[in-house]
Amino acid sequence: MRDITQSQAAVRKENTMITSTANAQVKELIRLMKKSRAREEAGVFIVEGPRMAGELTGDPAWKERIDRIYLSESYSGKHKEDVEELGKTYRMEILADHVFTHVSDTKSPQGILAVVRRKEYGLRDITGGEPGNPLVVVLDNLQDPGNLGTIFRTAEAAGATGILLSRDCVDIYNPKVIRSTMGAVFRLPFLYVDDLPGAVCELKQEGIRVFAAHLEGRNAYDQEDYSGGTAFLIGNEGNGLRGEVAECADCRVRIPMQGRAESLNAAVAAAVLMFEAGRQRRQ
């Protein structure tokens, strides 16, 4: 569709607006929104909202991976010039407002979503791909979508090179997680693995020192050296790290706490550790 003219885009928009929630494309969109297996089988995920969609279309590494863009009738009417420009490059469909609301995963739909082909990463991508000082976050059975999204945002801000996840972690392609990453998911490599202890051993073979956030930590987190290659193990929100994963660590560290709190939220604990590593690396 790269050679489509603005007038053609306008005609196409007018003639092909989807007005029924029974439409096959609408049903497929809902399936992709709600079912992890459907997304995995199709090799795609969904991005919703103008900010996130704008990051995709403005990023050379991602703009070619956009499969199709869906717009609400009111959004396309308010942004005619932008829509016509998008129509020169991408396959687009216009949905009647009530249909878009039916499809959307948000309470207040913003009128634009994109179906995007996934990008695959390997362990080398997680460690930065080039010699240096990798900073890796390793997540074991993390279940909360908000925690995962927050960890992605925090990891990017702290200078992490990538995130390694056990296969039973929450799906990063869950629309709620995608939104909560605020675009970090487009820029930070990540990899799900079936054998997390095995993958951690591979990190250690690359000279990366592995630290487990653990209540039985020998030292406080700020007493260790994270200036070299570092990986932090972060466990499940309720149960912490599984024994076989914690045993992979070179060192267990604790975050000293006052009051009666027994532990920190997983995302908060990850933030404390990553920003300490970032602070040390700036010195």
Asked which of 63, 90, 117 is the last residue of a domain, the reply is: 117
The verdict on residue 222 lying in a domain is yes
Amino acid identity of 106?
Answer: T
Q: Which is nearest to 208 in space by CA: 126, 263, 95? A: 126
Cα–Cα distance measured from residue 232 to residue 5, given in angstroms and rounded to the nearest whole number: 51
Question: Measured between alpha carbons, how far is residue 19 from residues 50, 113, 122, 137, 266 in Å?
Answer: 22, 17, 42, 45, 43
Q: Which domain holds residue 203?
A: 123-282
The verdict on residue 202 lying in a domain is yes
The verdict on residue 167 lying in a domain is yes
The verdict on residue 190 lying in a domain is yes
CATH number at 97 reads 3.30.1330.30
Query: Within this chain, do residues 149 and 270 fall inside the same structural domain, yes or no?
Result: yes
Query: Within this chain, do residues 170 and 276 fall inside the same structural domain, yes or no?
Result: yes
Query: Within this chain, do residues 132 and 46 fall inside the same structural domain, yes or no?
Result: no
The verdict on residue 1 lying in a domain is no
Two structure tokens written together for 107: 């309470």
Query: Within this chain, do residues 137 and 111 fall inside the same structural domain, yes or no?
Result: no
Query: Within this chain, do residues 90 and 144 fall inside the same structural domain, yes or no?
Result: no
* Centroid of chain to Cα 66: 16
The verdict on residue 188 lying in a domain is yes
The verdict on residue 34 lying in a domain is yes
Query: Within this chain, do residues 107 and 132 fall inside the same structural domain, yes or no?
Result: no
Query: Within this chain, do residues 54 and 174 fall inside the same structural domain, yes or no?
Result: no
**Which contiguous run of DSSP H or E holds residue 25?**
helix 24-34
Query: Within this chain, do residues 141 and 26 fall inside the same structural domain, yes or no?
Result: no
pTM over 0.85? The answer is yes
Cα–Cα distance measured from residue 80 to residue 57, given in angstroms and rounded to the nearest whole number: 17
CATH number at 172 reads 3.40.1280.10
Contact present, 135 and 161 (Cβ < 8 Å)? yes
Query: Within this chain, do residues 190 and 77 fall inside the same structural domain, yes or no?
Result: no
Q: Which is nearest to 145 in space by CA: 165, 106, 175, 119? A: 175
Domain count, the chain: 2
60 C-beta neighbours (distance < 10 Å), count: 6
Query: Within this chain, do residues 200 and 135 fall inside the same structural domain, yes or no?
Result: yes
Query: Within this chain, do residues 91 and 174 fall inside the same structural domain, yes or no?
Result: no
pLDDT at position 258, please? 82
pLDDT at position 131, please? 66
Query: Within this chain, do residues 143 and 77 fall inside the same structural domain, yes or no?
Result: no
The verdict on residue 53 lying in a domain is yes
**Each residue's pLDDT expressed in tens, for the chain with a length of 283 residues:** 344 344 444 434 444 799 999 999 999 999 999 999 999 999 999 999 999 999 999 999 899 999 999 999 999 999 999 899 888 999 999 999 999 999 998 888 999 999 999 999 999 999 987 667 899 999 999 999 999 999 999 999 999 999 999 999 999 999 999 999 999 999 999 999 999 999 999 999 999 999 998 877 788 999 999 999 999 999 998 888 999 999 999 999 999 888 776 678 899 999 999 999 999 998 8
Asked which of 100, 117, 134 is the last residue of a domain, the reply is: 117
Cα–Cα distance measured from residue 212 to residue 251, given in angstroms and rounded to the nearest whole number: 6
Two structure tokens written together for 68: 């199709």
Amino acid identity of 280?
Answer: Q
Q: What share of the chain is helix, strand, coil (3-state, %, to 5)?
A: 45, 20, 35
Asked which of 96, 117, 138 is the last residue of a domain, the reply is: 117
**Helix (H/G/I), strand (E/B), else coil: 129:** coil
